[in-house]
Amino acid sequence: MDANSPMAEIGDPAYLQYLSFLSESGISPSELGEYLHGEDVDDEVDSDYGTIPPRDGANSASVTTSSQESVYVDDSAVESNDVVVVEGEHESNERRNDNNSEGSEPTLSKDNKEKEENVDEEGDLDRGEIDGLICPICFEAWSSGGDHSVCCLPCGHIYGLVCIKKWLQGRGSGKCPQCKKRCSIKSIRLLYASRIVAIDEELQKKVRSLEAKCSSLKEKSDILSEKRVEWQKKEADLCTEVHYLKERTHHLEGLLASAQYRASGSSVARWGCQGETVLGDNVEPEFHLQGSSSSFTFEKDLQVDGARLFDVDSSSQILIIARRLSGMGTRNVLTKMSLIHSHEKEDIHLPVTLKAVKDLQVSPYARLVLLASLGKKLSVVSSESNNTVLNYDLPAAAWSCSWDLSNSYYIYAGLQNGTLVQFDMRQTMRPVESMTGLTGNPIHTLHSLSADSSVGSGVKRVLTASSAGLCYWDFGRSEERPYLIPESENQGVCISLAYGPSSDDIVASFRPKIEISGDLAISQPTLSASDSLAGEGVRGSHVVYKRLGGGYKRLGASCANVSGIRLPKSAIVDGVSRNPLFVSGDEVTSELVLQDLPSLTVVQHLQPQKYPIRDVKYARILNSGLLSCLTEDSLQLFSTKLV
């Protein structure tokens, strides 16, 4: 219906609907003729594409020269493939939305609608991810070169080159598909950028806020790290101080216990032995009469689990400890522990075939350790390389071992069947000599004696102990047989032997035999292990022997509280006082008792923290004497200044 027709009436509904359409389309009455006859190309639909509406949302990407939007295309973007940033996208989209609401609803060709639907239906693609990457005409990604390279019109809107050319070629002089501003093919400008991305101002604000927050958190983290280092240092200092205070407390407790023991008169275990020293009230006066230039004081307590035996390497200032570890299969290890820094430890794992270690001796010549084990092996282990140097097969289990004091190549092993074997480490195939003992009792202690010019240079002397008594051996004499030391076979069951190389003093410990009926004697008393571990000792004795000329003479003896089951260890200390000292454990008082030789007068009592005592060793280190006492899971050190 023509608006100028006389048939049109103001109230006609069809006429009102027609006016509403013109108003929504933005067509004035003066432009009605052009709209109906297609004389103006503003609203013509291209035969290939149709009218392209201004697009909003995440997929719209435009370049405009308005004050609200601007495109920054740097020359360096061509070389560095920088991203062209479009600002004010939000305001541009609002302006386009307003234009769309004022004009007629834009239309798309069928092909373009299908392409847009395909883009929208892609599985994981987000519109924000393809923002500024597709042509708004064909909805395909533009490229940085070629026919579909990115370009823009004078108005600032961006298209693919081939698409905008095709759009404008149909008219010779066309308009921008989005803003309808006039333009031509000559006005197309290529943009040399790989990507065009719209900036979200709100997102940028959030990014800046998060960056500031991260920076603040990093500063706090650095401050906390510095404080943590300070706290760790303070904690280490406190631990050191606590350790020092604990050691000092143990030392003071030991001094207090020793003082209380002396004050009480030491009336425990007053067993009388005819013609021999009696332990009792006369100990303290004798201590003052005999005198000792210095005494041992508690030094430190080292924790060691599963310890059985140990020795001291004075030259390296380390402890070598034989341990038996339980758990997933029993394992035997040698643990090296520094005497200077006790936390410095290192384990040497021993072969399973060695079984339990029965004796351990550090070489006085080199960093070597001699091991006697129940696996019928005599082994030499290097404490420097932690490797086994030699392994000798034995006819029976080894109970004791020793280095020769006059020759660094000779070693000895005392066997369970009473045999004594001599080896030369330069000959690895077989022993140099093997001698059968007087009895078949195990040799539980073995000492190589210092050289004696009266017996010849080629003769090597060895002293052993078994339950039958003390036995003297000469190696190097073809017809010489071992013999028992006089008055050692009738003292009882020999359970320990200590030897002082510098003074040639010998002290043997005995416990009584149990007489049954007739002439039968049993060497083991009927005591349970729990009784012995609880400190229930038996009446025994310590006997002093001295080498005089070509033989040995018994000088004296004293009563003692000895173990009824175990084979305890003892030691002789030289250089601390005018006379050597004999060190042994008291099974009743659970103390280490130091006795002067040869009188066996008690001069000092030391109180270990735990009991029973498994091993005792003495060593000279620099200007100090170190007395070490090994219990089940601790190694306690006592020291004194040497005279």
Cis peptide bond prior to 580, omega within 30° of 0? no
Contact (CB, 8 A) for 277 and 558: yes
Cis peptide bond prior to 501, omega within 30° of 0? no
618 forms beta bridges with: 627
- Cα separation, 598 vs 543, whole angstroms: 9
- Cα separation, 200 vs 204, whole angstroms: 6
CB atoms within 10 A of CB 79: 9
pLDDT of residue 547: 82
Ordered strands of the 307-313 beta sheet:
307-313, 318-325, 331-338, 345-349
CB atoms within 10 A of CB 432: 16
* Vertex 608: Cα angle to 606 and 612 (nearest 5): 120
- Cα separation, 198 vs 461, whole angstroms: 101
Contact (CB, 8 A) for 603 and 287: yes
Look up residue 447 and give its two tokens: 């000492």
pLDDT of residue 26: 60
pLDDT of residue 184: 86
pLDDT of residue 611: 78
pLDDT of residue 423: 95
165-212 per-position pLDDT tens digit: 888 887 656 888 888 888 888 889 998 876 656 667 888 899 999 999
End-to-end CA distance of the chain: 137
**Ranges of the chain whose pLDDT falls below 70:** 1-132, 171-173, 194-199, 251, 254-255, 257-294, 327-329, 453-456, 478, 515-536, 643
Amino acid at 221: S
530-567 per-position pLDDT tens digit: 344 444 689 899 999 988 777 788 999 999 999 888 89
CB atoms within 10 A of CB 444: 20
Domains plus CATH for the chain? 1-38 (no CATH), 41-199 (3.30.40.10), 350-484 (2.130.10.10)
Residue 34 phi, psi (nearest 5): -60, -40
Contact (CB, 8 A) for 423 and 431: yes
Question: What is the DSSP-derived secondary structure letter of residue 187?
Answer: G
Please give the torsion angle defined by the CA atoms of residues 384, 389, 394 and 398, in that order, rounded to the nearest 10 degrees.
0
592 forms beta bridges with: 585, 606
